[in-house]
A and B are shown apart, each in its own frame.
Chain A
Amino acid sequence: MRRTTIALTAFALLSVAGCRPNTGADDEDETGTEDGGDGEGAECTEQTAALAPLRRINHVQYRNTITDLFDGKITPGPSFPETSHAHGYGNDPDNNVVSQLGAERIMLAAEEVAVQITDSADELVSCGPNQTERACARDYIVVMAARAFRRPLRDGELSRLMELYDEADASASWQDSLGVVFAAVFQMPQFLYLVEEGDGDPPSPNTIQLTDFELASRLSYLFRDSIPDDPLFEAAAAGQLHTPDQLENHAWRLIYEDRVRAAAAASRFARDWLEAFPGDPSEKDADLFPGYDDALVASFDEEYARFVEHVLWDSQGTVEELFTSNETVANSLLADFYGLPGGGPSGPDDWQVVELHPQRRAGLLTRPAFLATHASGIESSVTRRGKAIRTQVLCDTIEAPPPGAMAAAMFPEGATQREISEILMGDASCGGCHALMNPIGLGLESYDAIGAHRTTIKGEAIDATGEILPWKSEVEGSFEGGVELAQLLAEQDAVRACLSRNWIMHALGRSTLSEQDACTVTALQESLGESNDEVLGLMVALTRTEAFRVRQLEVD
């Protein structure tokens, strides 16, 4: 399926131009900025609906949902399928396809929950003195299935669940029958998918206006990765959850009243955005990096999340700070990793805000979770690091390598990353694209394959000069080292536009944006001007847009 028209145009232009920066960009390129949607020059007088594919809750959302549904009395089991990251955001439907094995795992996970419901049914279900067991079970199902579906049950739904109950009850206890009902509920699409069907007359045949309950779910799964809380359900039931003000107020409420869930949700976005998944320690050479074990990798992960939370909740929370802060939150393992003086965190569970070397570390791009991900088992990878910054921070597209590309260039044994880059950039078929990536990555050569700072490579002093060559995002500049790179990026409007785009893609489960989304991007970017560059302000600004409330079904 073709999802965008602008992407096609952009591609046609790219394939003519190849990846050639500095070509004195022809005028046509101005319209072809990557996914479209940077909004520059667009007339944003009219708000626009947005495509939002049907999203299945991912494994993080599943765990939170089960936990919150039962107030922590039921523990989600291990079977629910893990979300892949092969296709970008963890919210993208392509990463949450229900395969045959997936359907089986969802069934096993539902049974893991249902068994606990049966075993603790006497505590979960309250029963009046004159009620039959069936009536009590029915009351419980009415309440809990509605919460699981995140809206009141419809006529046929309750009767279907009660038929299942009665069928089981013919040969089983009421507690068993209740478990059977929930084994079904947690496999039903009304639970597994964030269904957005609207009701009443649609604004146009190709759009639907989300109901208040559907908006409650959009808010809740965006800002807390879980089911709506009680105030959201109450507001939806009262019809008080569809104006921009109502939605914005609840978004801020979730951010500040439920900080644990909100910070985890924001951090999950930040991880997906920069693809910071350091992964299994066995991916790195144990001889070269003897300390790179499960505990350190887990610390990298947690540091990344805690850093995002620290900046957004406990500091100024600006885009600039996200890129340039020389603070982080570290435990004892990270204090050693960063070479901090003693007297800091006392153990792996003691997390403290610490200051890092101001000439060595600045913001997200110098966090080891990012640097270790975009590296190989033994060395940094200037291509992967440069590509991540080019595509995720600047929203520039890099063309795929041509067929047979891997055999196009040869490198002398033991060549450094800079030597490899020079060979690639000098090659006619490789040079165009690699010039957009490698010079950026070369500026991060002071960080090795696990993100540790270094001053020499094989006894030679490191040359950490780097350069961003101009391309569609129109960002350019030379820099030396990660701190200067971070400062250069932190000044750019294009970086803020790109962050806006990424937040929209994450929120709506999209893999690309189109020209049609340009005004939504602009609205988010402009919100930064009003909120003193605050990232949370940008995130919340989405809730005020038409794109948040009106879902478009098909590409126009």
Chain B
Amino acid sequence: MRATTTRRRFLCGLGGLTLGLPFLELTASPARAQGQAIPRYVQFLHAHGTYFHQWQPAAFGKNFQLTPVLSPLSPVQDDLVIVSGAWTKVAELNEQALVDGHMRNTVSVLTGEPIFENVVNGQHVNNVQFGFANGPSIDQVIADRIRGDAPHLSIDLGVGVDPNENVILHAGPNDPVALEMSPAAAFDKLFTGHDPMAQDTLSRLRSHRKSVLDAVSDSMTDLTGRLGQADRHRLEAHAEKIRELEKQIDGGGNPGNGCMTPQLEYPNGYQPQDHAFVNVTSRLMIDVLVMALACDMTRVGTVQYTDVQGPWFPWLGVDAYMGYGSFHDRVHLSPGNDPDFLKIMQWYMEELEYLIRRLKETPDGDGTLLDHSLVLSVSEFFSGWSHAYYEPLPIVLAGGACGNLETGRHVNAAGHSNTDVWLSLLHKMGQNDNCFGWPDYCSGPVSSL
């Protein structure tokens, strides 16, 4: 049964400041109690496209039916906007680089930029190099704008085996964002905090972190002499990361009334990157991320499913190797009717449904966390079989975006570059940019969004 909701327009602000309190001492601030909401942006990135025969709903507008791939989202159908038709146009600039189909799309899908090495003095050149993207991904741009006083610019979590195969998020030109692959490490970073009364050597040492980072920051400025441009660029990016660590110490955040320490349970023998536990890791990471958002530890987060070779999906009861060398091989070699592949792509949508549900269950001010969030779910391409960038991306949006997103629709973005959709997302987050990504592919926001 679908819930009927009358959506109120929330005007989100960037929140007041609660300076540097240890996590456990944080409580809802007066500003939050008065209902001023904080905007959040969340990404759900799944690998290998989708089961493309059965993804796109037939009808546009409000009266669309969920397709077999999207059917797990039916409990939250009214919270969704399906966006079809937009594709990663800029990836055509990567066509001649010595990269496989994955990298061609992964570096560009959220950045809207070509490969860094293929841009010289702002102009695109055809080069045989491969590498990272020439600019930041949309999440990092949004994070910079809406961060407020949250201690962490973004929380980026990986589920799967090898994140290096699948670098999508970028902080800037040639500057990949690494994913945290361990739920326990993410939990410790966000929720354990340091007990100021603890007297062990490590705790005493950590009480000096700020002075240490200050000294490190100062030492970075000594190395600006005889270095190449690319070297200086790398060092400047590194220095920025040190400043960010300092902000994490200073940052306060503004926890909402749904903020709680997440309760994580690990099954026996749990290893976060073991193929057999990927489904467990998925839920743990989503739980950590939702609470990081509720507690205003961060306002932007990503859960990325990283593994292009697998996993083997044993929890779905599908034949582990399916007669193919890997899940990857199967995606490439089985274009036809493949019920197991459908099952796998439905599983990703089950995880998305869980993320949306958890956001919706979490109170935030006088609404829910979902009311104040904009969720983007997408893969690096549409069809893993072809690995082609010129096919429309499987985009699902969710959440109220503080009253700025009208949900329960299927929107036609045909003819648009994916970056036009990301530009629309920027607008939903209260920004007024004219273009996102490589300018040649900007044709303005998607008006029907």
Contacts and interface: CB of A to CB of B under 8 A. Distances in A.
B129 A197 contact: no
Interface string B206-234: 10110111011011101101111111001
Interface of B: 92, 95-101, 104, 116-120, 125-132, 153, 156, 161, 164-165, 167, 171, 174-180, 189, 201-202, 204-206, 208-209, 211-213, 215-216, 218-220, 222-223, 225-231, 234-235, 237-238, 241-242, 244-245, 273-276, 309-310, 312, 320-321, 323-326, 329, 332-333, 335, 383, 385-390
Contacts of B215: 160-161, 163-164, 184, 188
B164 to A, nearest CB: 4
A114 interface: yes
Nearest to B125: A2
B128 A11 contact: yes
Given A54-B231, A184-B212, A405-B101, A115 B326 contact: no
> Interface centre among A99, A190, A202, A410, by most B CB within 10 Å?
A99
A172 B309 contact: no
A7 B211 contact: no
Interface residues of A, number: 91
Contact of B205 (A102, A114, A187, A195): A114
A377 to B, nearest CB: 5
23 contacts: A86-B165, A93-B234, A94-B174, A100-B241, A101-B179, A111-B202, A180-B211, A188-B219, A188-B220, A189-B220, A189-B222, A197-B223, A208-B226, A282-B312, A286-B320, A378-B321, A399-B98, A400-B104, A403-B387, A403-B390, A411-B333, A449-B325, A512-B129
B218 A160 contact: yes
Contact of B389 (A208, A403, A554): A403
Contacts of B244: 100, 103
A286 B312 CA distance: 11
B423 to A, nearest CB: 24
Contacts of A401: 100-101, 387
Contacts of B97: 400
A406 B98 contact: no
Given A118-B204, A406-B101, A407-B335, 17 more contacts: A1-B120, A93-B234, A94-B132, A101-B177, A101-B179, A104-B189, A111-B206, A156-B222, A167-B208, A176-B205, A188-B215, A280-B273, A376-B325, A377-B325, A378-B323, A400-B100, A512-B129
A193 B385 CA distance: 42
A79 B96 CA distance: 38
Contacts of A187: 212-213, 216, 242
Contacts of A257: none
A553 B226 contact: yes
Contact of A53 (B95, B125, B201, B231): B231
Given A160-B218, A283-B310, A406-B332, A167 B211 contact: yes
B229 A554 contact: yes
A340 interface: no
Contacts of A11: 96, 126-128
B156 to A, nearest CB: 8
A406 B386 contact: yes
Interface in A163-193: 163-164, 167-168, 172, 176, 179-180, 183-184, 187-190, 193
Contact of B175 (A97, A379, A402, A405): A97
B352 to A, nearest CB: 24
A407 B388 contact: yes
> Interface centre among B127, B209, B211, B215, by most A CB within 10 Å?
B215
B235 A403 contact: no
Contacts of B131: 87, 94
A484 B216 CA distance: 56
Contacts of A399: 98
A99 B216 contact: no
A100 B178 contact: yes
A124 interface: no
Contacts of B206: 111
A287 B323 CA distance: 12
A381 B328 CA distance: 13
A184 B216 contact: yes
Interface string A277-299: 00010110111100000000000
